[in-house]
Amino acid sequence: MKKIFVFIFAIICSLTLVFATGCDGFGEVKFDPVNKEDVKIGMICLHDLNSTYDANFIYSMYNALDNLGMSRDQLKLFTGIDESEDCYNKAVELAQSCNVVFADSFGHEDFMIQAAKEYKNVRFCHATGEKAHLVNLNNFSNAFASIYQGRFLAGVAAGMKLQEMNKDKAAEEQNWKIGYVGAYPYAEVVSGYTSFYLGAKYVAPEVTMEVRYTSSWFDFAKEQAACNALIANGCALISQHADSMGAPEACETKKVPNVTYNGSTASACPETYIVSSKIDWAPYFEYMINCVISGEKIATDWVGTIETGSVKLDSLGKNAASGTDEKIEEVKAKLVNGTLHVFDLSTFTVGGVTLNSVMANVDFDEAYTPDHEAVKDGYFDESALRSAPYFELRIDGITEISDKAN
């Protein structure tokens, strides 16, 4: 028995010695135009239609196909794919028959890059990722949208609601505290809650905010618990950046207004739903498919905006404050014509100081070292240097509570 183990071990060691090193070179690959009818699209989703996050991608893809007059048979969709080797496997499987493969979750990125290196004649697109501008592959690209604008508008609706709730109260009875349930303490979430907060502050200067993390993107119980903890801590309004219905349903039970993300909860939570900001991925999918048809390169970093129709607000809930619609339209017009910026440095302070320069960590590295100046004309220019957000400042007025027990 021992001999056989020694034998196996020896084989492994010798193979290692011989083959442990190796490297590929990357050449430029030109893509040929493809007939619209022959385009095959592969899609990899972390969860299935039960997750608001993935459902948003899947329905956007259906809309894009309908808008382009393509058949849904041209889509191959894998759902419930972990952020693991599984993603690489499915990407490879899709690469056998598809012209373009899209993955929707942040953690899929490494595995998509791995597949992109091996299948150079297939395009790989990844939402929310941050490495495309670093790996420099012709067939790998990132996409995101300037959702901070959408969150700012949702924040305006939240501020209006707080104004309405506090209107007839004496100064000492007023409550301007917002609660926010976040998944992880990294830029995508920080940028999101800060823009939401600044939106609320734009109409209600007194607001403060408390943020709690769940350390998970989809965990009904944890999101519900974090939401309840925020309400117990005196928050008058809740918003969240995580994918289950945990927080909205906790709000509906406790009758606390809720500003949601990635789709209206008006049917499930009619009493407390205020507004929902979301990314509509259909414009990106249309762009991506059109690039495949024409044989063009897909932009390494694509950012959707309000103007491209990528950043959207769902219709208001019945209990939103009156006048919210008009206010949102007014602010939206300012954001589009550039007279208002979400991260205007004059609207917030960090440690009591107004900043005039911010170094951001744009090029991913293990130590998260800041590497690029992100301030332009007095505002933090989010999503200009890469598609994924990189605003990571902790501004005054927002308290983060990291619960280690989670």
Partner 1 sequence: MENNITSIKRHEPLFKIFKRNDMPKWKALLIRVCATLGAIIFSMILASIIIGKNPFEIFGTMVSGAFDLPWRLIYDGVVLLGFGIAIVPAFKMRFWNMGANGQVLVGCLAACLVMFYFGNKMNNVILIIIMFIVSLIASIIWAVVPAIFKAFFNTNETLFTLMMNYIAIGLVAYCNFVMAKGMRETPGIINNLTEKGWITFHFLPPTIKSYILPIIVIILITVFIYIYITKTKQGFEVSVLGDSEKTARYAGMNTKWIMIRTLIISGIICGIIGFLFATCVHHCVTVNLCGGKGFSGILIAWLSNFNPLIMAGVSLFMSFIDNGTSSVTATYSLGSNALSSVIIGLIFFAILISEFFIRYRVVRRQRTTKEAKEC
Least separation, in Å, of the C-beta of 161 and partner 1?
Answer: 32
Among 112, 123, 178, 160, which residue's Cα sits nearest to residue 296?
Answer: 123
Nearer to partner 1, 81 or 158 (CB): 81
Nearer to partner 1, 106 or 176 (CB): 106
DSSP 3-state of 167: coil
Cα-based distances in Å from 150 to 117, 245, 256, 275, 280: 34, 20, 21, 11, 11
Among 13, 29, 232, 350, binds partner 1 (CB under 8 A): 13
Determine, following the binding rule CB under 8 A, whether residue 338 of this chain makes contact with partner 1.
Answer: no
Determine, following the binding rule CB under 8 A, whether residue 23 of this chain makes contact with partner 1.
Answer: yes
Among 6, 33, 38, 50, binds partner 1 (CB under 8 A): 50
- No. of H helices and E strands in the chain? 11, 17
Torsion of CA 148, 83, 280, 185, to 10 degrees: -10
Determine, following the binding rule CB under 8 A, whether residue 75 of this chain makes contact with partner 1.
Answer: yes
Q: Which residues contact 397 (CB under 8 A, 6 or more apart)?
A: 197, 201, 207, 208, 209, 348
Residue 115 burial by Cβ neighbours in a 10 Å radius (0-12, 13-18, 19+): buried
Distance of CA 108 to the CA centre of its chain: 13
Among 63, 68, 76, 363, binds partner 1 (CB under 8 A): 76
Among 4, 170, 171, 405, binds partner 1 (CB under 8 A): 4
Q: Hey, which residues between 205 and 264 contact partner 1 (CB under 8 A)?
A: 215-217
Nearer to partner 1, 9 or 26 (CB): 9
Handedness of CA 381, 182, 55, 292 (dihedral sign): positive
Window contacting partner 1 (CB under 8 A); options: 2-10, 250-258, 334-342, 349-357: 2-10
Determine, following the binding rule CB under 8 A, whether residue 96 of this chain makes contact with partner 1.
Answer: yes
Tell me the two tokens of residue 281.
């991925």
**Count of chain residues binding partner 1 (CB under 8 A):** 57
Least separation, in Å, of the C-beta of 99 and partner 1?
Answer: 15
Binding residues (CB under 8 A) for partner 1: these are 1, 4-5, 8-9, 11-13, 15-17, 19-24, 43, 48-50, 58, 72, 75-80, 82-86, 89-90, 92-94, 96-97, 106-107, 109-111, 113-114, 118-119, 184-186, 215-217, 368
